[in-house]
Amino acid sequence: MSEKTLAESAEVGTLAEPEHPSSSKRWWILAVIAVAQLMVVLDATIVNIALPSAQKDLGFSDGNRQWIVTAYALAFASLLLLGGRIADLFGRKTAFLIGVAGFAAVSALGGAANSFGMLVTARALQGVFGALLAPAALSLLNTTFTDAKERAKAFSVYGAIAGAGGAVGLLLGGILTDAFDWRSTLFVNVVIAVVAFVGGWILLTNHRDAANGKLDMPGTVLVAAGLFALVYGFSNAETHDWGSALTWGFLIAGGALLAAFAWWQTKATHPLLPLRILLDRNRAASFVAVLISAGGMFGVFLFLTYYLQLNLGFSPTKTGVAFLPMVAALMVASQIGTTVVLPRIGPKAVVPLGFAVAAAGMAWLTGIGIGSSYVSDVLPQLIVTGAGLGLVMPAAMQLATSGVAAEDAGVASATVNAMQQVGGSIGTALLNTLAASAATNYLSGRDATSKLVQAQATIESYTTAFWWSAGLFAGGAVIAFLLYRRGVPEQDADAAPVIHM
């Protein structure tokens, strides 16, 4: 199909299915995709709450603890573009089902781990299969929903899951750890995967839009190594410092490898990431919006989790519940933003507005103190921030994949996921470093043995992270306003033909 014109692609679909182009199964397909995506997003945070229990059980050091999280992020981020291209070349249903089944199998391996090495290996393999599953899921959504209104609704659901999945992961991780043990946070994926696999097997067809293409091996190696080095470098900034060779060395290497990848894509016969995907102004703006929103969002999840548990004394389960109002606000805003507001006024107003609202929420959250309460000093701010992110993420994800040629749907979807992963890695490293510096500066010249001084130092670290998150969102508002085109984007029904059932 890669050699056909887009018009020919649409014509073939019409001849194959003269009925209404949208399948009656499309909403069930959305449910299956949503379940699979939730599983992938959950695993970025669900294990975090269980880490102390796992560490005690398996006996690994504090220094090794970060690798339980980092191993997943490294494998996931570095292989996303490869996973997206595999979905385009060999079929999205095949990629989806292998990704789901593999994710379940290695999750069970992790749950049964009897050593640190076995658990880290399982987490890395989760990232590998997640990198195959996530772009396949998003590209299936992109090619299944071509009607403008239905597409908006579908992406509001998907975007809400992508934005709120981290908070849901914290809640589910807390509940499972409190009720059972840390292993249940991994075993639960098997249950979720069974639902996704059965649904995918029954409902999906194996559409191959780039069946005549070939895999760009030099590009694959360059981008995988570049993304690995970039994420690894930012991860080292958390555990070492920015002046460490393990930090700046890998960051420079990652930048050089990605620059080489970009150059190679202009020369390759079958590029892994065709530059036409990046050259559309709205799509490029959407990739940047996803990157920034993911980076700033860690200021909410990471440091507010610390504050709720360490300062307010919340249990893991109660901490997860505390994030639910934010999740609700995000989901409501995503539905209104993508189905009502975006089709009327376009992204140049919607996405910057969402960033501005999220920035206001994070700036408001800096008012927390030692004697603050959740109801008055956290809850309203969470709702405002969630509403802002609900206007940004689903709209950006929809526009990032809208209008791409069908044979590029998988790799475009993978790019969205890569932006989210890299943004999260950058945000975590940056905010952790700034927060630690703020705490150190506050303790300088004060009685560091005083519990009151120590508590206030942690507050300084949290509020510093919140201010920087607000700054990231404010910068996102300006960048989005400058990059997005005016007006409502035209719906290109031929760009990603519907998969006929």
Residue 492 lies inside a defined structural domain of this protein: no
CATH of the domain at 70: 1.20.1250.20
Identify whether residues 311 and 185 lie together within a single domain: yes
**CA 87 to CA 355: how far, in whole Å?**
32
274 Ramachandran zone, left/alpha/beta (phi>0; psi -120 to 50): beta
* Predicted confidence band of residue 18 (pLDDT cuts 50, 70, 90): very low
Amino acid at 252: I
Please check whether residues 300 and 282 belong to one and the same domain: yes
- Provide the pLDDT for residue 175: 84
Lowest average pLDDT, out of 10-14, 48-52, 73-77, goes to 10-14
Q: Average pLDDT of 124-132?
A: 91
Examine the domain organization and report whether 288 and 262 are in the same domain: no
295-317, pLDDT tens digit by residue?
Answer: 888 767 778 888 888 888 887 78
Q: φ, ψ for residue 350 (rounded to 5)?
A: -65, -50
16 assigned to some structural domain: no
Q: Which residue has the higher pLDDT, 102 or 158?
A: 102
- In this prediction, residues 252-271 reach a mean pLDDT of 89
Same domain, 59 and 148: yes
Same domain for 472 and 328? yes
Which has the higher per-residue pLDDT, 483 or 211? 483
Average pLDDT taken over every residue of the chain:
81
305 and 360 inside one domain? yes
3-state secondary structure 340-362: HHHHHHCHHHHHHHHHHHHHHHH
Mean pLDDT of 248-273: 88
Query: Could you give phi then psi for residue 242, rounded to 5 degrees?
Result: -70, -20
Q: 480 falls in which pLDDT band (50, 70, 90)?
A: very high
Q: How many domains does the chain have?
A: 2
Q: Residue 335 has what pLDDT?
A: 84
SS3 373: coil
For residues 302 and 292, give the distance between their C-alpha atoms in angstroms, rounded to a whole number: 16
Domain span at residue 307 reads: 24-208+273-483
Above pLDDT 70, what percent of the chain? 88
Residue 12, domain member (yes or no): no
Compute the distance between CA of residue 131 and CA of residue 78 in angstroms, rounded to an integer. Answer: 8
| pTM of the shown model | 0.77
* Confidence at residue 208, expressed as pLDDT on a 0 to 100 scale: 59
Structure confidence at residue 144 (pLDDT): 79
Print burial letters for 155-173: b (CB count within 10 Å at least 16), e (below 16).
Answer: bbbbbbbbbbbbbbbbbbb
Q: What is the pLDDT of residue 16?
A: 33
Query: Position of tokens 């109002």?
Result: 325
- Let me know whether 228 and 353 are in one domain: no
pLDDT of residue 496: 43
Q: Tell me: the pLDDT tens digits for 144-155?
A: 777 767 777 777
User: Would you say residue 7 has pLDDT above 70?
Assistant: no
Do 233 and 130 lie in one domain? The reply is no
> Is pLDDT above 90 for 499?
no
Higher pLDDT: 488 or 84? It is: 84
Q: Does 29 score more than 90 pLDDT?
A: no
Same domain, 278 and 318: yes
Instruction: Tell me: do 198 and 233 sit in the same domain.
Output: no
Residue 289 has pLDDT above 70, yes or no: yes
357 and 391 in contact (C-beta within 8 Å)? yes
Which pLDDT score, from 0 to 100, does residue 62 have?
61
How far apart are the C-alpha atoms of 472 and 459, rounded to whole Å? Answer: 20
Bigger pLDDT: 14 vs 105? 105
**Any domain includes 501:** no
Is 138 a member of any domain?
A: yes
| Burial classification of residue 488, based on how many CB atoms lie within 10 Å of its CB (0-12 exposed, 13-18 middle, 19 or more buried) | middle
Query: Binning pLDDT at 50, 70 and 90, where does residue 17 land?
Result: very low
Q: Higher-confidence residue: 174 or 124?
A: 124
CB atoms within 10 A of CB 31: 15
pLDDT at position 87:
82
- 370 in any annotated domain: yes
Kindly state whether residue 10 falls inside one of the protein's structural domains: no
Estimate the share of the chain in helix, then strand, then coil, as percent rounded to the nearest 5. Answer: 80, 0, 20
pLDDT at 340: 84
Give the model's pLDDT for residue 495: 43
138 vs 17, higher pLDDT: 138
Most trustworthy range by pLDDT among 4-18, 83-97, 452-466: 452-466
CB 397 within 8 A of CB 202: no
Backbone angles phi, psi at 235, to 5 degrees: -65, -40
Both 135 and 247 in one domain: the answer is no
Q: Tell me the CB-side half-sphere exposure of residue 183, using CA atoms within 13 A.
A: 11
Is the confidence at residue 497, as pLDDT, over 50? Answer: no
Whether pLDDT at 396 is above 80:
yes
Question: Is the model's pLDDT at 4 over the cut of 60?
Answer: no
> What pLDDT is recorded for position 212?
57
For residue 407, give the nearest of 222, 290, 276, 279 by alpha carbon: 276
Percent of the chain with pLDDT over 90: 24
Domain co-membership, 300 together with 236 = no
What the block records as the tokens of 46 is 């669900």
Which segments within 55-189 are labelled E, that is strand?
Answer: none
- Residue 193 is predicted with a pLDDT of 92
Domain assignment present for residue 19? The answer is: no
Q: Which pLDDT belongs to residue 3?
A: 38
Q: What angle do CA 391, 396, 400 make, to 5 degrees?
A: 165
Q: In this predicted model, which residue has the larger pLDDT, 448 or 373?
A: 373
